[in-house]
Amino acid sequence: MKVCKFGGTSVASAEQIKKVAAIVGEDTKRKIVVVSAPGKRFNDDIKVTDLLIKLAEASLSTGETEKELQAVVDRYADIAKGLGLDEHIVNIIEEDLRGRLTINRDNRDLFVDQLKASGEDNNAKLIAAYFSSIGMEAEYVNPKEAGLIVSDEPGRARALPEAYENLSNLRDRKGIVVFPGFFGYSRDGVMMTFARGGSDITGSILAAAVNAELYENFTDVDSVFAANPKVVDSPVEIKRMTYREMRELSYAGFSVFHDEALMPAFQRSVPVCIKNTNNPSAEGTMIVAEREYSKSPVIGIAADGGFSTIYVSKYLMNRELGFGRRLLQILEDEYISYEHTPSGIDDLSVIVRSHQLTPEKEARIISRCREELLVDDVYVEHHFAMVVLVGEGMHNTRGLTARATTAISRVGANIEMINQGSSEVSLVFGIQEKDTESVLKELYKEFFSTSAVLGV
C-alpha cells in the first residue's frame, strides 16, 4: 500500500486534479491520498489558504464577509466546473464555510485555524467526489472520524500514540481514501492544525500508521537537486538520499518541502519519494534510512545568507568556568537561538540568524557583555552566509574537507568559520554573503563535476 500526498499546486485547478486522478488511478497500490488546499495556479495567484485567512480576518474585524466568502467559493466552483461536477458539492462547501463563520470567536487563533483548515477539508471532499464521478471507488475520510488524535498545541500539534493505532484501520477501507492534510483533533475533540507543511505531516503520519511500503510526496519539481537550480545551471538530480542528509540540507533552506514533516515516516522507516505531479513518470528522489555512499559521498550543497556574528574576547576567558554559558544565557534572554559557537582560547563567536536581531537587542547584548561578562572587546558583524556540504560519506572519506576548502579559496572567498565535528553528515562553512554564489558554484563543480545522475 502506498500513501500519496499532493501539495497545493498539484490540486490548484481542475487540470491539475485530473492529473492527480490519473496518477492515483495508474497504480492500484495508491490507496491513501492526502490533499492540500488549492494552491497557486500561476505565479501571482493567491492560495485558497490565504483567501481563507482574509475571510477570517474580515469576520473578526467588520463582520462583513460576503465578498471574501464568495472569493473562496468561486475557487471551488471553478474547479468543480472544470471537473464536470454539478453544483451540489459547491453548495456543501459553501454551507460548511458559513457554518464555520458562526463558530465561537472568543479564541481568535482557533477561529482562524478552523477557517484555514477548511481549505484542505473541502478540497478533499471535492476530490473524493471527482474520483467517484469517474468511476474510481473513493471516499472522503474526516480526520476526526478516523481518529487522528493530536496534542493540545494549536498551530504545532503532534500526533499522539493512539492516532497511529486508530489510523492503522484505514488499511481495511475498500476504496481509495481521500484525506485532508493539515489538521487533527485533540482528545477533547477540538480541531488542531499542524505547523507549516501540514499536509506533509498528515501524509507521513498516515504512511507510518498503515506501515505503507512507500510515501509519495507529489510536488512541482522532478526531484531534489544537489544544489539550488537558481544558482547552479542544471544541477544533478538526487536519486537517492538518506533522512539525515535531507535534514541537514534543510538547514540552509533546501525547501522542497518541510523535512520535519517526514519524521513520522522516518521513525517507522517508511521510504519517501519526492515526485512531480506534472511529470509523474520521472523517478523522483527517494529518501531512505541508509544508502550506499562510496561513489557519491557528498549528496548536496546548500547555502543561506542572513547570518550575523557576535564576537567577544576576554583575556583568560578559557579559565573562567561558565563564561560561555553566561553568554548564551544573555542571548536566550533575548529569545535569540544560535547556530554555531566557534571558540578560541580568549575569544568566542556566536553565529545567529540576522533576522532575530534588532538594533535595540544588539545594544543590550553588547552592554550586558561589557557589564556582566567584563569582556575586553565585543562587536556584532552582519552579512554572513552559511554553506553546508552534506553527505553520508563525509565522515569517512578523507580529503573532502581539503577539497572543499581548496575550492573556496580558488574563488577568492575568505573562510570566516568552519564547523565540523558534531554531525557526521555535514560540514558548514561561514563565508561573506557576497561570496555565496561563487562559492556554491565552485563547490558544485568540485563535487559534482559530471552530470551523471547521483546515488544509485
Dist. CA 341–CA 343, nearest whole Å: 6
Measured from the CB atom, the residue of 133 and 313 that comes closer to its own copies is 313
Stretch in the footprint of its own copies (CB under 8 A) among 35-43, 173-181, 222-230, 408-416: 408-416
Q: Is 359 in the site for its own copies (CB under 8 A)?
A: no
Total of chain residues touching its own copies, rule CB under 8 A: 60
* Residue 360 CB, nearest approach to its own copies (Å): 19
**Would you tell me the crossing angle of helices 48-61 and 108-133 to the nearest 10 degrees?**
140
Task: Kindly tell me which residue out of 378, 408, 439, 454 binds its own copies, with binding defined by CB under 8 A.
Answer: 408
Q: Is 342 in the site for its own copies (CB under 8 A)?
A: yes
Asked if 266 and 212 count as a contact pair (C-beta separation under 8 A), the reply is no
Task: Kindly tell me which residue out of 78, 347, 362, 433 binds its own copies, with binding defined by CB under 8 A.
Answer: 347
Q: Report CA-CA distances (Å) from 377 to 309, 311, 318, 374.
A: 14, 8, 15, 9
C-alpha cell at 103: 463558530
Measured from the CB atom, the residue of 92 and 328 that comes closer to its own copies is 328
Task: Kindly tell me which residue out of 64, 162, 175, 315 binds its own copies, with binding defined by CB under 8 A.
Answer: 315
Q: Is 61 in the site for its own copies (CB under 8 A)?
A: no
Asked if 189 and 150 count as a contact pair (C-beta separation under 8 A), the reply is no
Measured from the CB atom, the residue of 418 and 453 that comes closer to its own copies is 418
Task: Kindly tell me which residue out of 82, 220, 311, 433 binds its own copies, with binding defined by CB under 8 A.
Answer: 311
Q: Is 432 in the site for its own copies (CB under 8 A)?
A: no
Chain mean position to CA 181: 14
Task: Kindly tell me which residue out of 42, 135, 421, 450 binds its own copies, with binding defined by CB under 8 A.
Answer: 421
Q: Is 321 in the site for its own copies (CB under 8 A)?
A: yes
Per the listing, cell 575550492 goes with 407
C-alpha cell at 296: 557519491
Amino acid at 35: V
CB-neighbour burial class of residue 39 (10 A; exposed 0-12, middle 13-18, buried 19+): buried
Q: Is 416 in the site for its own copies (CB under 8 A)?
A: yes
Q: Is 1 in the site for its own copies (CB under 8 A)?
A: no
159: DSSP letter: B
Q: Is 332 in the site for its own copies (CB under 8 A)?
A: yes
For residues 260-295, one letter each, b for 16 or more C-beta atoms within 10 angstroms of the residue's C-beta and e for the rest, the string is bbbbbbbebebbbbbbbbeebeeebbbbbeebebee
3-state secondary structure 94-139: HHHHHHHHCCCCCCHHHHHHHHHHHHHHHHHHHHHHHHHHCCCCEE
* Residue 320 CB, nearest approach to its own copies (Å): 8
* Residue 245 CB, nearest approach to its own copies (Å): 11
Q: Is 419 in the site for its own copies (CB under 8 A)?
A: yes
> Contact residues for its own copies (CB under 8 A)?
247-248, 250-251, 260, 263, 309, 311, 315-316, 318-319, 321-322, 324-325, 328-329, 332, 335, 337-349, 351, 395-396, 398-399, 401-402, 405-406, 408-409, 412-423, 425-426, 428, 430
